[in-house]
Structure 1
Amino acid sequence: MAVPGGTGRAPDPPHADPRGDPFLRTRFAVPARPVTYLRRDRLLVHLDEALLTPLTVVHGAAGAGKTLLAADWVSTRHEPVAWLTAQVADRGGGTFWAYLLEALRLAGVTMSADVGLPASAGRADDRLLTRLAAELSTRNTPVILAIDEYDRVTDPEIADQLEFVLHQAGHGMRLVLVTRTEPLLPLHRYRAAGTITEIRNAELALTPDEAAALLALHGLRLPADDVGALVERTRGWAAGLRLCALAAREETDPRTFLKEFEADRTTIADFLLAEVLKRQPAGTQDLLLRVSVLERFCPGLADALTGRTDAEGVLTALHRQNAFVEYLGHAWFRLHPLFGEILRAHLRVRSPELEGELHRRAARWLRRSGSLGEAIGHAAAADDWGSAAGALVGDLALGELFTGLHCEDLARLFSRMGPEPTGPATDLVRAACALSRCEVARGSSRLRRAVQALPARDGSAQGDPADLAATRLSCALLETLVARLTGAPGRAERAARLAEQVRREVPGTLLEAHPELMALLLTHLGSARLWAGRVRAARAALTTVVDAGGPAATAQARRECLGHLALIDYLQGWPGRAERTALATVAPVDPSGPPPAPGPGLASLVLAAVAVERDELDRAEALLGVAVDARHPSPDPVTQAGRAIVTGRIALARGDTRAALEAVDRTVVADVASPWAAAHTASVAAAAHLAENRPETAVGLLHDVPRDEPVRLLGAAQAELAAGRPEAAAELLGRLRSQAGIGPAVTVRAALLRARLAGERGDHAAQRGLVSRALREARRERLWRPFVDAGPWLPALPLDAPAGGRLPTGPPRRAASARGGQRAAPPVVEELSGRERDVVRGLAQMMSTEEIAADLYVSVNTVKTHLKSAYRKLAVNRRHDAVRRARELGLL
């Protein structure tokens, strides 16, 4: 077709393209929107920016809703919009430009005859493009041209020509490209200049609210959680949600269908296979099918699965094409969830024997690259449990079954492992899984098999020396755990010595990567030593773990160690120190408020024991309830004994002697007896018998327990005194005085017993002095229970206020301290002065320090001095507690 020349009247528009074929009118028609189409105002508002920038690109995956979005936007415009749907046949530049000129003509854009028409289907003349751009640049109102399916235009020459016209047309043209891929235009220049409007795949995804509205248009109304789960699975993909809705409408239970549908059995599979997979070259299809077995992948991993070396370019291209390959950053990708499901199903049909081999290749590559968790998962998916267990043990990661972020996932994964294969690694994993469930007999049996299967350490063993060393160190870990659970400190010491020898053979990188193994081993060793009464050695092992700090993987071990250290402090009579150590296992949510209680375990038990010492019985019972949560069994002897002791002491404080005896009568099964556990349980039982007026029984109970335990000496002295043998009581208290390191929970009770002995001798001055000393010690630790338990002689004791303050009146609160009874006020070592009372009254009136100073005509520093003294006498640290304590004492 010749290009018209001259300056006369424009010729009639042609009705055929340069080949002589008639124009296909459907290519100029704006697509119709279905009745269930969901208008999304947020995207329309964004598209309105197309009027402000020369170039707008709407690019997203197949079925992302980009064409209907553009069509909906066009329907909202008052000015005419030229619409063109591109085709693969437009590879010839002449045909493309003929269709583009026809789209402009149909939209009402008039052009002079000078513009001309393409002379051939193969190319467009440069003169035509120049005249077209020049004519568009003179327009007062820009022409809006929307080209749909622009990804079909693959000829770089057409892209260059279109960019030339767009650039030279200036304000006279606004180009909107709807495409699956980034167009072959210099987008970087438009982005740098801020002259492009882009709506990408992520923005096209439906939000949960939009998805709910779309489902409602299909007659489906679901709870928000169900909609959220569906959006997560489809990633908000418009076509996927629409196809799901259409399929669900045909089901009797749409809600269940949308929760459980199998993507490969729906029309979604037909769509994705036809529109995405089969549009790719054969090599790319093979790569997509192979990586479908992976949750995420990088080029190196993809190459390992395909045996090729070009994955990097292929994956990058797929991502740019919006071919349902998502970029995660740092060279890692993943498939869209539905696309991945469908590809896996397609792989199983097409090559059923290949999936297992792909998982094995992935497992090998991932373990070499340091992604142990994923490597184990793929080995398990291939049913290669020997490799899975070997990776876990060989990489020194067996401790992850007990602590860290993945312990539950690992336990769930290895629970699928059958009785085969067998070997040191698989038996160790089975033993660890059993021990993590507190199945000590089963775990010990598996551990024994693993140890017996290990080769001798004579240098003749075959295999990787590092793997063998890691296996032996893992055995030592489980040996210390079994020793802890069975109360066998000798076994724990032997395992610890072996671990110290073997760890020198383990690569330092493994030890650094998995610090939880040694942290757990030392935790178990410290617990076993504590059970044996080797307190100093136990503290050394436990403190090593706590002081080392470390990542989240060792957090559980550090918490357990702190719980044990808190128990040591409590057993040695330091309740305040024990409380601080126990509370260190948790971080306060609100720094201005009280710290939260720890969860199940020793820390909560210790806090409950401290609460008993402070006569806070309701709090003690609440903490005990947390500590013995049935969902978190702790069958090690230390915890069992601690639970029995605290339960018994609470029952004693409540006046329930039968419950106290039942609590400490439960047998703790252990290979060796614990001196402190025997002494404390006997002490509780003896106190119960004393409350029932059976002193000789109490004496007999305490006779057979370790004789130098402080709690045994105290209990025996009290029983001897109750039996009428004050000399024997005094001798026991003398032995207690010679012991070093015991804290106020012991010394306060001892001072009160000596005071009672002094009173019976008639030495009332010594008696008052001893009680005053006990009060001073008790105030620092807020101890009150020793005074409640002392007996009826103590409240009747006359004390001078300056010397010793005052004591509560009334009988011991065995009956009165029943659940719901009033709590007696704590002792005050010294009476508050008049000025101190005035300051505390100001606190009660919610006055600030400055307001109290002005009211009393004193300086702020003077008020602070009075406050400090009042806090000390009331044994508090905060304003609110001071007011509460003063009210309890009747000072307000």
Structure 2
Amino acid sequence: MTGLGDDGSSAAEPLADPHGDPFLRTRFAVPARPVTYLRRERLTGHLDQGLRTPLTMVNGAAGAGKTLLVADWAERLDDGLPVAWFTTETAGDGPGMFWAYLLRALHAVGVPLPDGIGFPADANRVSPALQARLAAGLSGRERPVVLVLDEFDRVTAPEIAEQLEFVLHHAGPGLRLVLVTRTEPLLPLHRYRAAGELTEIRGAELAFTPDEAAELMELHGLRLPPAAVGALVERTRGWAAGLRLCALAAGESQDPEGYLKEFEADRSAIADFLLAEVLKRQDAATQDLLLRVSVLDRFCPGLTNALTGRDDAEAVLARLSRDDAFVEHLGHGLYRLHPLFAEILRAHLRVRLPGLEPELHRRAAAWLRRSGRLAEALGHGAAAGDWEFTAGALVDDLAIGQFFTGPHSDALAGLFSRMGREGTGAAPELVRAADRLARRETDAGLTHLRRARRELAEYAEYDGPADAAAARLSCALLEALAARLAGAPERAEDAARAAGELREAVPGELLERHPELTALLLDHLGSARLWAGRFEEARAALSTVADSAPEAATALPREDSLGRLALIDYLDGWLGRAERRAREALAETERFGLPRPSGSGVGRLVLAAVAVDRDELGQAQALLGTSAEAHPALRDPVLEAGRALTTARLHLARGDPGAALEAVEPEVPADAVSPWARGQTALVAAAAHLAEGRTETAAELLREVPDAPPACAVGAARVRLVTDGADAAVRLLDRARPEGRAGPAVTVRATLVRAQAADEAGDGARARRLVARALAEARRERLRRPFTEAGPWIRRYLGTAPPPAGRRTPGAGPSPRPDEPPPPVVEELSGREREVLRRLALAMSTEEIAADLYVSVNTVKTHLKNVYRKLSVNRRNEAVRRARELGLL
């Protein structure tokens, strides 16, 4: 086997890794189980089932019993399957080191490797040929290899995960991979789940049941009644390590059951045991260290030294970890205490050193802030009750945008909700303003913003010029948001200009570390411009955000910007483009798992509006309902006006003009008037009045709209057609020329107005050509609503019957020929057959009807056959004509 060998030659298995160090045999050893280990058949049975899938994942917290479970199962496999065990204990391993150890693990259990596979010489890279040859070799095996990767959460390099997934995919049935991990691995688990190729055992399944806990207690010599076991399981949440710890402690007592009851009540007995058996066995300096680090979730030597005032923490922590003194080494120089031990130490700290805990939190916060670990620093600052420090750290780090977007927004809001009125100064006021604006409490937010501005003006030197600039830039971001929520575009522009000037005074590394600030600022500016009707300027700002690199920190502004770009496309009449943008916005929400109401709602609003124009009213209603589930800070006038307008259009489509008027009657509160919102409102209201015969009111509404956009001009022409005749309507369209300024949702309506004018003038041939042109343009966008709202005149041009000669009464439909009365319908059409017939009248293809009704093409064909039979016709056009003659359309 080339590159492998026991003598170290090029053809033998090497004895050293790419660094030249000997392979650590312990990383290939299956861990031994203690004599008190409890075998749980429900879990081993689940692992047996995992042999049917290429990938098995055992995921749980530390101490959940993952490793011992898999080790016990692996050694009990009795069907001769080779089991290669590899503990990935070094988090910094590069791809070369990882694959060197993995190959050695396979070799150690006698798995022959392909000739020419080679061996990684560089710890940080590996040849693609190695993975390809390994996968090919494994795929040819008659029986699979079981490869267990323990502590896989230490593998943090994406390239390693990609390479491993490649081998797993191409090895086929020759490999069964078992991952033991505390975190979600980087592999594409969703694909394996969807294909049914993933077996999962998670923390909830690893937790001990009461029956299992009782058996475990018996292995430790304890026989407990069910009630005592149930209480213990409840206390430990079935955590394996906690149960064993309790069993060990209870075993030292003369009355184990009474001991566990006392432990359940106040934990004083377990505290006494651990203090005596663990803490008091240490020297005084080590006891002091343990007490002080108990306020930390995890710690490193440097942070420990900061809390103790010493410089020997590295050696002390390493010794405690080696001695199993309830100090766990996590790698990368990080440690943590056993959770129960930490609880007991904190209680003892308050007794032995009262009043020291807040000071320890302050020291930890200061050290963590200097180390760039902002989230942890904020937590300790809040625990110390030092709100000036905590708010200042957030603002000075330029992280105020995390109140609104990113994975920490909920935690941040919860943390500062405890601040109350204790903190004073510009930073606490800015945090209060952010908290209020994040909940759309605009007036309260502006009050705190004014106080922050006064503080900044009074103290020009806010902890140094860079920090002052960070505070002022944070203030500009919040002012832009407040202006957006208030519908005040000019104030948003002022805030954006101020932010542009301040960016030069802020360290570049801060801006790079917090891309959410720039994304939010541009999103607020673009939305304010959109409200002002400056579509191109809005598009420029929003596109910058939408085109930025996807990441969790900017997910919300990216989703919102994509949705608002879709809204601009919709208002311009481009339904297909709007739909694509809106779906891209929803994909952004799903990509980063933004929970509702974290999204902006605009994407769903646009899809609802598009659905109305496509006459998909049920879908429109559902989407409209979900569009209300928006992040409070993004419920601005743009969203509110869009929802009102779409709701009104939906009422119109359902034949309820009164409800449509009620939906648009109240104005959306805003400091500035939005020209497009005003125009669209007038257009919808005019359509509602026109539907109820109030033509003069409709005409007056549209005359009051200055600089009417194309959609309003088309609406005015439709009204003019009724009030002033065909010539007046055509002249208005010729002046407005909407065909060159808007998309199909507008131009199709304009073409239909021209067609109706031709029909009114008696020019049936021209009307037919215009209707055909409108149909061709509408079909690309699946646009139906303009035809259903056009009125009875269009019916004759949607079928094949020639128009009657001479001028006809406006709005009159075709009358049946007296010499050929239509035969009666022998059998009534079903509801679904009527739906198919209505779409047939819109010249939709069979495939389009199937897609619109969410049924198969064959189902549509069956409905069509029934329609033809019941109407006594043989073709589509005949069916449409007969249905009109019978008043079915």
CA drift at 1:635: 3.2
Say whether the 8 Å CA contact 2:320–2:327 is kept in structure 1: yes
**Equivalent residue for 1:239?**
245
* Aligned partner (choices 37, 40, 48) of residue 38 of structure 2: 40
Q: Distance in 2 between matches of 1:562 and 1:435?
A: 22
Aligned partner (choices 264, 282, 292) of residue 294 of structure 2: 292
Structure 2: state its 5+ residue gaps.
1-34, 45-62, 66-202, 216-222, 804-812, 816-828, 866-874, 877-889
Distance, in Å, in 1 between the alignment partners of 2:277 and 2:371 is: 35
Task: Name the structure 2 match of 1:688.
Answer: 688
- Of 839, 848, 857 in structure 2, the residue corresponding to residue 826 of structure 1 is 839
Compared with structure 1, are the counterparts of its residues 597 and 502 closer, same or farther at alpha carbon in structure 2 (3 Å cutoff)? closer
Q: Cα distance, 1:435 vs. partner?
A: 0.5
Does the CA contact (< 8 Å) of 1:546 and 1:558 recur in 2? Answer: yes
> Residues 682 and 705 of structure 1 are in contact (CA less than 8 Å); yes or no, is this contact kept in structure 2?
yes
User: What's 1:220 paired with?
Assistant: 226
C-alpha contact (below 8 Å) 2:64/2:241 kept by paired residues: no
Question: Where do 1:363-374 residues align within 5 Å?
Answer: 363-374=365-376
Cα distance in 1, alignment partners of residues 631 and 639 from structure 2? 15
C-alpha spacing 1:287/1:233, structure 2 compared with 1 (3 Å)? farther
Measured in 2, the distance between the counterparts of 1:628 and 1:735 equals 39
After TM superposition, the structure 1 = structure 2 runs for residues 109-148 of structure 1, keeping only pairs within 5 Å, are: none
* 1:632-654: CA deviation from partner (whole Å, max 9, x where unpaired): 68531000001101111111111
1:728 positional shift: 3.0
Q: C-alpha separation between the residues in 1 aligned to 2:510 and 2:302?
A: 23
Larger Rg: 1
Conserved? CA contact 1:647–1:660, under 8 Å: yes
2:360 matched to which residue of 1? 358
Measured at CA, do residues 797 and 651 of structure 1 come closer, stay the same or move farther in structure 2, by a change above 3 Å?
same
What residue number does 1:624 align with? 624
Contact 1:825 1:888 in 2 (8 A): no
* Match runs of 1:304-343 below 5 Å: 304-343=306-345
Deviates more, 1:626-635 or 1:570-579: 626-635
Distance across 1 between alignment mates of 2:794 and 2:783: 15
Query: 646-655 or 794-803, which moves further after superposition?
Result: 794-803
Displacement, 1:660?
0.9
Whole-angstrom CA distance in 2 between matches of 1:494 and 1:464? 25
Which TM-score applies when normalising by structure 1?
Answer: 0.66
- Residues 819 and 448 of structure 1, relative CA distance in 2, 3 Å threshold: farther
CA distances 1:860-890 after superposition (whole Å, capped 9, x unpaired): xxxxxxxxxx86x879799976546655655
CA change 1:648–1:365 in 2 (3 A) is same
Q: What is the correspondence of 1:410-449 to structure 2 with a 5 Å cutoff?
A: 410-449=412-451
Contact 1:211 1:241 in 2 (8 A): no
CA distance, structure 2, for counterparts of residue 478 and residue 604 of structure 1? 26
Equivalent-residue separation in structure 2 for 1:497 and 1:631 (angstroms): 26
- In the alignment, structure 1 residue 774 sits paired with structure 2 residue 774: yes
Cα distance in 1, alignment partners of residues 421 and 832 from structure 2: 53
Q: Quote the sequence identity (%).
A: 53
Q: CA deviation at 1:535?
A: 0.2
Cα distance in 2 between the residues matched to 1:379 and 1:597: 29
Aligned match of 1:276:
278
Structure-2 change in CA distance of 1:798 and 1:555 (3 Å): closer
Q: Distance in 2 between matches of 1:308 and 1:798?
A: 89
| Cα offset, 1:776, TM superposition | 0.5
CA distance in 2, matches of 1:817, 1:674: 46
Q: Where does residue 762 of structure 1 map in the other structure? A: 762
SS in 2 for 1:328: strand
Structure-2 residue corresponding to 1:601:
601
Quick one: structure 1 residues 395 and 598, their matched pair in 2 at CA, closer, same or farther if it must change by over 3 Å? closer
Write out per-residue CA displacement over residues 323-371 of structure 1, whole angstroms, 9 at most, x where no aligned residue: 1112222111111111111111111111112111111110011011111
- 1:527-576 CA distance string (max 9 Å, x none): 00000000000000000011112421001110000110110111000111
CA contact (8 A) 2:232 2:243 kept: no
Counterparts of 1:735 and 1:425 in 2: how far apart (Å)?
A: 56
Q: Which residue of 2 aligns with 1:209?
A: 208
> What amino acid sits opposite 1:239 in the alignment?
L
Query: How far apart in 1 are the matches of 2:708 and 2:373?
Result: 54
For residues 528 and 699 of structure 1, the distance between their equivalents in structure 2, rounded to whole angstroms, comes to 30
Aligned partners of 1:674, 1:374: CA distance in 2, in Å? 44
Kept in 2, the 8 Å contact 1:531–1:638? The answer is: yes
The question of whether the paired residues in 1 share the 8 Å contact of 2:440 and 2:633 is answered with yes
SS in 2 for 1:218: coil
Query: 1:676 is matched by which residue type in structure 2?
Result: W
Q: Report the Cα distance in structure 2 between the residues aligned to 1:590 and 1:415, rounded to whole angstroms.
A: 28
**2:518 matched residue in structure 1:** 518
Matched, 1:795 2:795: yes
Tell me the CA shift for residue 657 of structure 1: 1.7
Q: CA deviation at 1:731?
A: 2.5
Distance 1:462 1:758, change over 3 A: closer
Q: 1:632 to 1:441 in 2, by over 3 A?
A: closer
Q: Structure 1 stretch 680-689 or stretch 388-397: which is displaced more?
A: 680-689
Q: Which residue of 1 aligns with 2:453?
A: 451
Q: In the aligned structure 2, how far is the partner of 1:629 from the partner of 1:354?
A: 45
| CA apart distance, 1:768 | 0.7
Aligned match of 1:855: none
Q: What residue is the counterpart of 1:584 in the other structure?
A: 584
Give the Cα separation in 1 of the matches to 2:832 and 2:437. 39
Distance 1:422 1:679 in 2: 46
For residues 241 and 819 of structure 1, do their structure 2 counterparts lie closer, same or farther at Cα, with a shift above 3 Å needed?
Answer: farther
Q: Paired residue for 1:95?
A: none
1:505 partner SS: coil
2:466–2:507: 8 Å Cα contact kept in structure 1?
yes
2:401 aligns to what SS in structure 1? helix
Task: Give me the whole-angstrom Cα distance separating, in 2, the residues matched to 1:210 and 1:224.
Answer: 9
Partners of 1:311 and 1:877 in 2: CA distance: 69
Partner of 2:470: 470
Structure 1 574/688 Cα, relative in aligned 2: closer, same or farther at 3 Å?
Answer: same
Tell me the SS of whatever aligns to 1:352: coil
Residue identity in the other structure for 1:710: P
Letter in 1 for 2:245: A
Distance change >3 Å, CA 642–CA 244, structure 1 → 2: farther
Whole-Å Cα distance in 2 between the matches of residues 225 and 521 of structure 1?
Answer: 52
Q: How far apart are residue 322 of structure 1 and its match?
A: 1.3
With over 3 angstroms needed to count, the CA separation of the structure-2 counterparts of 1:715 and 1:878, relative to structure 1, is closer
Letter in 2 for 1:723: T
Unaligned runs of 5+ in 1: 1-36, 47-62, 66-204, 804-808, 833-869
Count of aligned residue pairs for this structure pair: 641
Taking a change above 3 Å as real, the CA distance of residues 249 and 275 of structure 1, as seen in their structure-2 partners, is closer
Residue 438 of structure 2 contacts residue 633 of structure 2 at CA under 8 Å; is this kept in 1?
no
Matched AA of 1:40: L
Deviation digits for residues 606-637 of structure 1 (CA, Å, limit 9, x no counterpart): 10001111111011101111111388685310
The structural deviation recorded for 1:796 is: 2.0
Shift of 1:226: 9.8
In 2: Cα distance, 1:221 partner to 1:810 partner? 84
Superposed counterparts of 1:454-853, under 5 Å: 454-455=456-457, 461=461, 463-587=463-587, 601-629=601-629, 634-737=634-737, 740-797=740-797, 822=835, 825-826=838-839
Between the aligned partners of 2:844 and 2:516, the Cα distance in structure 1 is 53
Q: 1:600 to 1:391 in 2, by over 3 A?
A: closer
Partner AA of 2:839 in structure 1: P
Where 1:790 maps in the other structure, the secondary structure is: coil
| CA deviation vs aligned residue, 1:42-88 (integer Å, no higher than 9, x gap) | 79x99xxxxxxxxxxxxxxxx999xxxxxxxxxxxxxxxxxxxxxxx
Compared with structure 1, are the counterparts of its residues 222 and 488 closer, same or farther at alpha carbon in structure 2 (3 Å cutoff)?
farther
